[in-house]
Amino acid sequence: MPEGPSLVILKELAKPYEGRTIAKAHGNSKGIPFDELPGQPIISVRTWGKHFLMELPLLSLRVHLLMFGSYRIDEEKDGASPRLSLSFEEGGELNFYTCSVKTIDGDLDDAYDWSADVMADAWKPAAALKKLRAAPDMLVTDALLDQTIFSGVGNIIKNEVLFRLRIHPLSTVGALPAPKLRELVKQARQYSFEFLEWKKAFALKQHWLVHTKRICPRCNIALHKAHLGKTQRRTFWCERCQKRYSAVL
């Protein structure tokens, strides 16, 4: 479920719970003060990249769905114990499964750099560019997955953005011409919003051009697939269509 756009969908679904007061809280997450939650209203529901945040008067709850996380709203998941379950005095419940739940003390605006979230109103392309220019040796396949630069971008978005821009995943950030680097920043957000619309229409997969694919849709030759970069994530690319920008000529 979990790249940035999917979290935006969760945020929209959870929005009606803003202002409701927690009646009961439980779950099998460790380190969560479930006893302290009843009586606290949800002040706001927010997201930062892949983080789902519920702001309460005394603390905030942070849910990260990781790779396999899921949620149910106003119902429970069959045969699963929630990591976090909240029910409300006004009715309704939010249940989260197979996820990481943590508390955050203090103001959320101090805890997060909102300008790094590609889905956020506060997104600042200039800030991303600055971070990229500070790391010229980084591979673009790693740069797009760096949550401090492109919070919310995941492996699908990474593969599709690189193909769309015809950039080889093993290009280094510093070798990209300035206009190409600006395009990278722009498309990281642009593609993420298209992802959001496709996801809402249950038509995400049909828009994938290279992710999980075997043939290049532009030139019909076989795509390459390998686990690249620091994180060794699955990468799909076309050796003919995607140019490898390298510092060494």
Partner DNA sequence: CTAAATGTTAAGCC
Partner DNA sequence: GGGCTTAACATTTA
The pair phi, psi for residue 58, each rounded to 5°, is -100, -20
CB of 172 to DNA, least distance (A): 15
Query: In a 3-state reduction of DSSP, which class is residue 175?
Result: helix
H/E element holding 117?
none
Which residue, chain included where needed, has tokens 């949800």?
42
Residue 19 or 33 having the CB closest to DNA? 33
Residue 67 or 178 having the CB closest to DNA? 67
With binding defined as CB under 7 A, does residue 245 bind DNA? no
Dist CA 143 CA 125 (whole Å): 14
CB of 220 to DNA, least distance (A): 21
Please state whether 92 falls in left (phi above 0), alpha (psi between -120 and 50) or beta.
left
- x/- string (CB under 7 A) for DNA, residues 57-96? -------x-xxx-x---------x----------------
With binding defined as CB under 7 A, does residue 148 bind DNA? no
- x/- string (CB under 7 A) for DNA, residues 153-182? -xxx--------------------------
Q: Quick one: which of 46, 131, 168, 211 contacts DNA (CB under 7 A)?
A: 211
The tokens of 113 are what? 């750099």
Dist CA 195 CA 177 (whole Å): 26
Dist CA 107 CA 37 (whole Å): 17
Binding site for DNA (CB under 7 A): 1-3, 6, 49-50, 64, 66-68, 70, 80, 97-98, 100, 145, 147, 154-156, 211-212, 227, 230-231, 233-234
